[in-house]
């Protein structure tokens, strides 16, 4: 079985698994990192949203064999380590707005929100309603209103 190596939440991990197993299952089933959730397996619900090299991606749709040794994967578990303090400002905003209901989609929502803020920064602009409308992460509890409020707060403190 091929040997796979990549960087996960700041640490290099190596394991034996076939190239075509999607990263979501490597994280969840083999490494026990369960923050990224399964909601569809076809990159439409976005519950597994995590970061690769600082940008949002969906590990359900990436083969582990396609990750390079130096690729840095960050899941919700590693998000706070990318900043000073116990929590990332976006996580704090989520707490302040008490966004979560069942909580299942929220790790993916937060990771998507952080990536969105970084993206608009790269584009030298601030978040618009159209950006918020464009977020594809589903929340079946319907926490959208508070997600929008939290992203605006989190963005101010990022």
Partner 1 sequence: MPRDLDTVPAGVARRSFLGYVVAGTTLVAAADLGLGRPAPAAAVPGVPQPAEVYDLNDMLTEAAMPTANLITVTVHEDGTASFALPRMEVGQGITTSTAMLIAEELELPLEKVRVTLADARPELLFNQLTGGSNTTISTYTPIRVAAAVAKAALLEAAAIQLGDTVEVLRAKAGVISAPGGARLTYGELARAAARRTPRAVEVRLKDPSAFRVVGTGRPRVDARDAVTGRKKYATDLKVKGALPTMVCRAPTLNGTPKRLRNKKRILAMPGVRNVAVVDTGVAVRARTFGQCIDAIRAMKVDWEDGPVAGLSDADIVKELRAAELPLPALSDSIGDLLGDNPLAQTVEVDTLFYFRSNSAMDTNSAVADVRRDRATIWAGLKSPITAQERIAQELGMSVDAVKVHVVQAGGSFGRRLFFDGALEAAKISQAMGKPVKLMWHRADDARVGRGHPMSTSKVRAVHAGGQVLAFQQTHTSVETDFRHGLGEIVTATAASLPTGLGNLGFSETVFELTQEVPYDFGVISQTLTETDDRFNTGSMRNIYSPDVRTAGELTVDRLAEAMGQDPYEFRRANLRNDRVIAVLDAVAKAGDWGRRMPRGTAQGIAIHKEYKGCSACLVEIDNRPRQTGRDIRDGVGGPRVTKVVFAIDVGLVVNPRGLEAQMQGGINDGIALALTSSMHLRDGHFLEASWDNYFYTRQWNTPPEVEVIVMPSDSGQPGGAGEAGVAATFAAVACAYARATGTTPAYFPVNHRDRLEFKPKPYVPPVPPSPTNGLKLTY
User: Strands, E, within the chain: which ranges?
Assistant: 3-8, 11-16, 50-52, 55-57, 72-74
Task: Using the minimum distance from each CB to partner 1, give the nearer residue, 12 or 32.
Answer: 32
Residue 64 CB, shortest distance to partner 1, in Å, is: 9
Residue 129 CB, shortest distance to partner 1, in Å, is: 6
Task: Using the minimum distance from each CB to partner 1, give the nearer residue, 12 or 147.
Answer: 147
User: Distance between CA 152 and CA 100 in Å, rounded?
Assistant: 16
Residue 13 CB, shortest distance to partner 1, in Å, is: 15
Characterise 124 by phi-psi region: left (phi > 0), alpha (psi -120 to 50), beta (else). Answer: left
Task: Using the minimum distance from each CB to partner 1, give the nearer residue, 19 or 156.
Answer: 19
Output DSSP code: residue 116. H
Task: Using the minimum distance from each CB to partner 1, give the nearer residue, 12 or 145.
Answer: 145
What phi and psi values does residue 58 have, to the nearest 5 degrees? -115, 105
Residue 98 CB, shortest distance to partner 1, in Å, is: 4
């Amino acid at each position: 079985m091929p040997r796979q190596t990549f960087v996960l939440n700041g640490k290099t991990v190596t394991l034996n698994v076939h190239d075509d197993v999607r990263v979501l299952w490597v994280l969840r089933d083999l490494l026990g990192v369960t923050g990224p959730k399964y909601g569809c397996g076809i990159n439409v619900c976005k519950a597994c949203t995590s970061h690769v090299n600082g940008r949002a991606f969906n590990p359900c749709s990436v083969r582990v064999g396609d990750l390079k040794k130096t690729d840095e994967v960050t899941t919700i578990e590693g998000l706070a380590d990318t900043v000073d303090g116990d929590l990332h400002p976006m996580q704090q905003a989520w707490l302040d707005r008490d966004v979560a209901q069942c909580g299942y989609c929220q790790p993916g929502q937060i990771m998507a929100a952080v990536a969105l803020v970084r993206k608009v920064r790269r584009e030298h602009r601030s978040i618009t309603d159209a950006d918020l409308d464009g977020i594809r992460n589903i929340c079946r509890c319907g926490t959208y209103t508070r997600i929008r409020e939290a992203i605006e707060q989190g963005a101010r403190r990022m």
